[in-house]
Structure 1
Amino acid sequence: MEQFRLLTHAYTRPGAGPVTSDGWPGWSAFAECVGHFKVPLQLLDDMVDGQQRDLLPVQMNSFEELQHYCYQVAGVVGVASIYIWGFSGESKAQAMAIDRGLAFQLTNILRDLYEDLKQNRMYLPQREFDYFHVRPADVLDRRRSTQFKDFILWQVQRADEYYRRSAGLDQLISEDSRAALDAMTAIYQGILRKIERDPFRVLRGRVRLGALSKARIAWRALGMSRRSTAR
């Protein structure tokens, strides 16, 4: 991560001299992309800060702490993406991009709840575990209870709120990029709906969409892309 930070800094700041990473040409392409689309450099610094947290055991105590982490690892990705796609609405679009990123990350956290806890990564806040009278050990023991079901469904509702808050984002990005956002959103929302239908599913490991569901989403995105290109 520190190497990534140094390379990012060197490639994206004027006058920083050439930097290589074992001859991998991807760094040059990365720097060119950042410069061409004028991606704010602070986003990259924030992202690295968030990713570094995952290198150590994680325990969140409050939603404010979780929200900040989600911003660092997903919200900034949302904002960087719309700079590449093209957008209008300035601050409104950026706020929606952050919310969509948070919605995706909250979905990820539910999807990977069991696997993350096995690796000492507790992203859902301890205060919320306590409020619903659920323990992280209950997840590792795959213990089903009404309290656990309510806990997960409450998390689903919160993620849904972030999807609702960002519902107009697709109208603010360039038309030829909407298919990509639509496909990403459909995949993540599909995972969230699976969890909503069966909250105990997260106790069995990572929740995934089936191949048929993914194929339908890809087919719809392809159709959207073709219609956009034809205009």
Structure 2
Amino acid sequence: MKKNKTASDIAKAYAYCEDIIKRHSKSFYFAFSKLPKEKANAVYAIYAFCRLADDSIDEAETKEAQGDALTFLTNELNRFEQGREPDHPVWQALRDVFDRYEMSIQPFYDQLDGQAMDYHFRQPQTMEDLEVYSYYVAGSVGLMLLPVIATRNHKELEEEAIALGVAMQLTNILRDVGEDYQKINRIYLPKELMEREDYSEDDLSDQLINESFIAIWETIAYRAEQLYDKFTQCLKDFDKDSQLQVALSAKVYGGILDAVRENDYDCFTLKNKTSSAKKVVFYNEVKNSL
């Protein structure tokens, strides 16, 4: 028989999840730590689940180990859905989130499907392929967060939540072009775009930043910025106590694109990010606009 968790147990589980987001995503933590405590905790738990999923692929040393890790996590999620969650802080925190909010399990399965796409990785052929992939690994996260930050309107805001997640994933891809190729031998730039701009894998290997590379990069960046705008236009429909935080997350992430531009599109030798000073500027801008 499953032992009921005490308030102290749940608090420790959330603290565990908060530590994960603190260590792995300063940008997300900067934005979402300013939510009311209950909502912030829910975001930490959701982020921690996504980190589990991501690490199940990235930390496994062989293809077989990756497959085993993904199967294990899928089985854990099945158990969670059946109310038999594992005795682990992430699952304990998630159970509390599902008890408090009108959550859907499907985006969590979609996230695991996204990890499977990395497991069976193939370079996307088109921008459409890239956006489909980005939905599974990041748009799904937008749907997970939605019942927490739009408690009344979450069913009406699914497109906007997906848009924000996809925009952030496209931003990640543009930031990490060099690292993805050098460390894990993945090219997320669509093949069709590379061919159109006459930019080859050899050019990528040589870390060539030329007009062709910039054209590819800006095509994807333009799409990301369209999606950030789509999300921002519906900001007023999110919970009043969450508008600042979600707007700030979009601004801080969008700022990464500007950082790459300011660094002459060097996504190979630099780790582009929104500076702490810029985050403060964005915070004040967003706060004054609401």
Aligned with 1:103 (options 150, 164, 167): 167
Question: In structure 2, the residue corresponding to 1:165 is in which secondary structure?
Answer: helix
User: Stretches of 4+ moved more than 6 A in 1?
Assistant: none
Specify whether residues 150 and 198 from structure 1 end up closer, same or farther in structure 2 by C-alpha distance, changes over 3 A only. Answer: farther
Please say if 1:116 is aligned against 2:191.
no
Please say if 1:76 is aligned against 2:145.
no
Q: Output the CA distance in 2 between the equivalents of 1:159 and 1:36.
A: 32
Does the Cα contact within 8 Å between 2:209 and 2:266 map onto a contact in 1?
Answer: no
Please say if 1:2 is aligned against 2:71.
yes
Q: How does 1:158-177 map to 2 (within 5 A)?
A: 158-177=223-242
Does the Cα contact within 8 Å between 2:85 and 2:92 map onto a contact in 1?
Answer: no
Aligned length: 219
Give a deviation string over 1:180-217, Cα, whole Å, max 9, x none. Answer: 21221111111112234445222324311223223444
Aligned with 1:201 (options 263, 266, 272): 266
Give a deviation string over 1:30-83, Cα, whole Å, max 9, x none. Answer: 122134312211111111110232245442112222111111111111121111
Does the Cα contact within 8 Å between 1:115 and 1:206 map onto a contact in 2?
Answer: no
Please say if 1:141 is aligned against 2:206.
yes
Moved more, 115-124 or 82-91: 82-91
Give a deviation string over 1:97-125, Cα, whole Å, max 9, x none. Answer: 11111111111110111101121221121
Moved more, 102-111 or 195-204: 195-204
Q: How does 1:1-231 map to 2 (within 5 A)?
A: 1-13=70-82, 16=83, 18-20=84-86, 23-89=87-153, 91-118=155-182, 119-217=184-282
Q: TM-score, normalised by structure 2?
A: 0.68
Give a deviation string over 1:142-182, Cα, whole Å, max 9, x none. Answer: 11222112221222111111112222232111010112212
Distance apart, 1:86 and its partner CA? 2.4
1:164 partner amino acid: D
Q: Output the CA distance in 1 between the equivalents of 2:248 and 2:98.
A: 24
Specify whether residues 25 and 143 from structure 1 end up closer, same or farther in structure 2 by C-alpha distance, changes over 3 A only. Answer: closer
Percentage of identical aligned residues: 23
Does the Cα contact within 8 Å between 2:146 and 2:154 map onto a contact in 1?
Answer: no
1:4 partner amino acid: L
Specify whether residues 99 and 146 from structure 1 end up closer, same or farther in structure 2 by C-alpha distance, changes over 3 A only. Answer: same
1:94 partner amino acid: E
Q: Output the CA distance in 2 between the equivalents of 1:103 and 1:138.
A: 26
Q: Output the CA distance in 2 between the equivalents of 1:71 and 1:115.
A: 21
Q: Output the CA distance in 1 between the equivalents of 2:112 and 2:96.
A: 19
Any stretches of 5+ residues in structure 2 without a counterpart?
1-69
Question: In structure 2, the residue corresponding to 1:122 is in which secondary structure?
Answer: coil
Does the Cα contact within 8 Å between 1:117 and 1:136 map onto a contact in 2?
Answer: no
Specify whether residues 90 and 177 from structure 1 end up closer, same or farther in structure 2 by C-alpha distance, changes over 3 A only. Answer: closer
